[in-house]
Amino acid sequence: MVLDFNTLYTFPGRFERLFEDFFKPQFAEGRRLAYPPLNVSEDDTAYYVRSELPGLPLDALELTLTDKNLVIKGERPTEQGKYYRQERPAGFFQRVVALNVPVEREAVKATLVDGVLTVTLPKCAECIPRKISIDVS
């Protein structure tokens, strides 16, 4: 008979980690790191980056397209007053979307409708899959 005491040796560390995780505000930190929330999708002709930015004025938003990244920067103004609860983030934010594919840089479009920013990144003509016919001899 073999008795395995290995799980008992790590018990103090596991108990301390449980205590740390209990008092750490993970949800609040995760929301702060992931603001604004993004959806990245594609179809046959383009890639789409959609972001929720309700109530953000257009002049507080900046988009930058580099060779490898789309950068969304902005600043949500801080509302003055006495708060009992504040869940809507305020202040500076930045999201970087890594583009691992070439896009038609001159045809990129961005729209802001009803608080949703949509950036359309058309695929380059060489990257769009095409069917090849097979000749039979």
Planar angle of CA 54, 57, 61, nearest 5 degrees: 95
Q: For the chain, how many structural domains are there in total? A: 1
- Residue 74: give its domain's CATH number: 2.60.40.790
pLDDT tens sequence across 88-137:
888 899 999 998 888 999 999 999 999 999 999 999 887 777 788 888 87
pLDDT at 9 over 70: no
Q: pLDDT grade, residue 19 (50/70/90)?
A: low
**Residue 131 included in any domain:** no
**33 in a domain, yes or no?**
yes
In a domain, 35, yes or no: yes
> Which residues span the domain enclosing 21?
9-122
Give the tens place of pLDDT for each residue, 48-104: 999 999 888 888 899 999 988 999 999 988 888 888 888 888 889 999 999 888 899
Q: Which residue has the tokens 């990244």?
A: 69
- Please report whether residue 4 resides in a domain: no
Provide the pairing of β-strand 61-65 with 38-42: unpaired
**Is position 2 within any domain?**
no
With a threshold of 0.85, does the pTM exceed it? no
Contact 112, 58 (CB under 8 A): yes
Tell me, yes or no, whether 127 lies in a domain: no
Is the residue at 3 inside a domain?
Answer: no
